[in-house]
Chain A
Amino acid sequence: MTSTQATANHEDTQFDTHEGVVHLLRGGTGQPVLYLHGIGAPPGYWNAVHEGLSRSFDVIAPDHPGFGFTDVMDDLDRIDDVVYHYLDLLDRLGLQQDVHLVGVSFGGWLAAELAVHSPDRFASLVLAAPVGIRIPGHLPTDFFLMTAKQQGQALFHDPAKIPQVDPADAVTAFQTYKNLTGVARFGWVPFLSDPKLERRLYRVKARTLVIEAEHDAVVPREITERYAASITNAQRKTLSGTGHALDAEVPEAFSKAVTEFLSSGEEASKQ
C-alpha cells in the first residue's frame, strides 16, 4: 500500500516493503539526491536543508528503519542490513546510476558504506560530520550517556539554537526516544562504527566532499581526517559557526555548500 500527501514543495509518502512501512519525503527537480539523515534535525520532517537542496535537485529523503516514521524492522540490526535496505529502495525508484549521495552524522556513515558497496552507482558523495570509522582513543562522544539537556548542548554550538521541547509533548518525546533507539540499535557496539569500513574506503569512486562542523563536540576531527585521507581525491570543507548538528544549526549554509559541490561536479561532467 502506498499513500502520498502532496504539499506545495514536496510529497510525503508511506509505502509497504517486505520489511515494513517506509516513510519518505521527496521534492524538487533535477538530478536525484539520496539524503540520509542523522538525528540533529529530527528525521521524518521536511526541513530547511531539504528545502534548500530541492531548489536544484530531486531530493529523496527517507527515514531510516526504526527512525522517524519508518517502522522498526526487527531483522535489521547491523549497518550492512541498512545498506541493502537502501539498495532495494534505489532499485524500487529506478535509480541505477548518477545518484548524489548526501549523509549527515549517522547518515554519513551509512552513505560511506553504500558508496563502498556500490561504487558505480553514485556520482557524488557528501559526508557531513560523519561517524563510522573506528579509531581507538578517538571514539565519538558517548551521546547515550547524557541527559536530554546535555545532548542539546553537545549537538549545537549556539545554545540559542537548541530546540525547546515541551515536556508534555508525548509525540516529540516518543520520536526522540525512537530515534536514539535507532542509533543504538546499529551503533551501541562497535560504537557508531564499522571496524572494517576504513580499509574498504579505497573502493569509493564518487567525487567526495567531507564536511566538518567547526565546533563539533560529538565527532572527533580525526574521523573526518581519516575519511578524507582514505577516499581518493576527497575534498574537505569546514562549516563555521556550527556544532555537530549542522543540518539543524546552519541549514542554509549547509545546503548551499552541498549544492555548490554537487553542481560543480555536474558542470565538470558536462564539459
Chain B
Amino acid sequence: MKFVFFHLMPYPYLPDDFDEKYTSMSLTYPNRHFDPEKGYELYHRYLDQLEWAEELGFDGIAVNEHHQTSYGIMPSPNIMAATLARRTSRAQIMVLGNAIPIRDNPIRVAEEIAMLDHLTSGRLACGFVRGIGWEYFAQSINPTRSAERFFEAHDLILKSWTETEPFEWVTRNYEYRYVNIWPRPLQKPYPPIYMAGSGTPDTMRWAAKHHHVYMSVIAPTQSIKGWFNGYRKAAREEFGWEAGPDRFGWVTPTYVGETDKKAVEEARGPIEWYFHKSLKQPPGAGNPPGYVPLGSMKAALEKGTRRIPTDSMPIEDLIKGGYILVGSAETVAERIMELGEDLGFGTLGVNLAVGSIAESQAKENIEAFAKEVMPKVRKEMNDAPPETSL
C-alpha cells in the first residue's frame, strides 16, 4: 500500500454567525474573512506538516487546486509543490491536480509540471482534475465546454512533453502556432498521471485507455467499488490489459484515536466541519449547466440516481457509509486492508489535517497514523517501508 499524506489546506476560522449568514464558504463568501496574519501562519503550519510527513515515512505528499474559497487556500498547486521540492528528498510530490479546463493556457501547466519534475529530481506525480462547479463561475470558464477542454488540454500537454519538434495545435478551444516547451520533463516519458473521477463512464473508460491512475472523490464505498470495476472492465475488455491495484487510489478524511469511541468523539468537530460546512457549494453552483454532459445527465435522471447528501450526516453515518476512516489504529489498519482488498486500490490518500482540526490534534493524528497504522498495514501486506523512514 502506498501511503499519501493528502492536504486541502482549509482556512478554518469562520465567524460565529457563519451558518446564519452564509450558505457556502466558496465563491461569494467575502474574503474580508481571510485574516492575512492567520493565513500566513496556516501556510507555514501546513507546509511543515507536509514536510514532516516525509520524515514520518509517507510515500507521497499531495497538494491540490481550489479557487475563491476557504475550503482550500491553494489556487496554485504548482507553487505549493515548488516549495516542497527542495525541502524534501524522498517522498513523491503529488499535484492532485491541476484543474486544466479552467486554465486559459494548458501550455503553462505543461511548462510548470516539467519544471517541477526537475526541481523534485523526478519525484513528481501529475494529477489532472475538472475543477469543481463553483470554480467555473470563479474563473469565468464556460462549463458546457468543461469535459471537452479537459480531454483536449490533457492531449495537448502530453504531446507537448513527448514531441521533440515544434508543432502546431489549432482547435476551437486553443490556438498555438508554436508548441515547443523547454524544459522537457525529467521522467520518461513524463511524470505518472493521476486523475480524480466521480464515476462518469466516459471518464473511466478514458482513464483506462491511457493507463492513468484513477483516484476516487469522496463517495460511499459501494459507489467507488462500481467505478473501479468499470475501469478494470474497460481496461480488460476494450484495451486488453489488466489494471492492478497500482492504478487505483482512494482518498479519504482519516482520524486515529486511542480507542474507537475516543476517535469518534475527537474527530466529530473537524470531520463534521468538513462535510457540513466546507463541502457545501453555493446554491446552484454544484452542477453548472453542461458540466455534466447531456447524455450522462439523461441517463442519471432516467435511472433516478441521486447522490446521498452528506451535509448533515453525523460522523457515525459517515463511517458506516464508508466516506471516512475513523477509529483506533487497529480498527483503521484493518479497515484499510479490508477495503484495499475489496476495492482493489494500491494508493491511499489520507486527509489527516482535516477540516477545522486544531494544530496539536492534527499533529497527533498524523503521528498516530504514521507510527501505528502504516507499520501494521505494511507488515500484514509484506510491504517494505521506504528506505529513509523512521
The interface of chain A, by Cβ under 8 A from chain B, is 72, 77, 142, 144-147, 150-151, 168, 170, 173-174, 177-178, 180-181, 183-185, 188-189
Contacts and interface: CB of A to CB of B under 8 A. Distances in A.
Nearest to A72: B294
Given A145-B285, A184-B143, 8 more contacts: A145-B137, A170-B304, A177-B297, A177-B301, A180-B289, A185-B144, A188-B141, A189-B141
A144 B137 contact: yes
Given A150-B284, A184-B288, A185-B290, A174 B301 contact: yes
22 contacts: A77-B145, A144-B284, A145-B27, A145-B284, A146-B284, A150-B283, A170-B302, A173-B301, A177-B297, A177-B301, A178-B294, A180-B289, A181-B144, A181-B289, A181-B294, A184-B142, A184-B144, A184-B289, A185-B290, A188-B140, A188-B141, A189-B142
Interface string B263-291: 00000000000000000001111001110
A149 to B, nearest CB: 9
Interface in B109-155: 136-137, 140-145
Binding site of B, secondary structure by majority: helix, strand, loop or mixed? loop
Interface residues of B, number: 23
A25 B100 CA distance: 41
Closest 8 CB pairs of A and B: A188-B142, A180-B289, A184-B289, A181-B289, A181-B290, A170-B301, A146-B284, A185-B144
Interface string B284-327: 11001110001001100110100000000000000000000000
A178 B292 CA distance: 11
Given A144-B289, A146-B283, A147-B284, A188 B143 contact: yes
A259 B106 CA distance: 52
Given A145-B137, A184-B290, A174 B298 contact: yes
A189 to B, nearest CB: 5
A189 B144 CA distance: 11
Nearest to A168: B304
Interface of B: 27, 136-137, 140-145, 172, 282-285, 288-290, 294, 297-298, 301-302, 304
A72 B144 CA distance: 11
Nearest to B23: A147
Nearest to B148: A74
Contacts of A151: 284
A147 B283 CA distance: 6
Given A170-B302, A185-B142, A188-B143, A177 B285 contact: no
A183 B27 CA distance: 21
A40 to B, nearest CB: 16
A147 B23 CA distance: 12
Given A77-B172, A174-B298, A178-B294, A189 B140 contact: yes
B173 to A, nearest CB: 10
A142 B284 CA distance: 10
A79 to B, nearest CB: 13
B298 A144 contact: no
A144 B288 contact: yes
A143 to B, nearest CB: 9
B4 to A, nearest CB: 34
A33 to B, nearest CB: 29
A180 B144 CA distance: 10
A173 B294 CA distance: 12
Contacts of A170: 301-302, 304
B289 A183 contact: yes
B297 A174 contact: yes
Contacts of B288: 144, 184
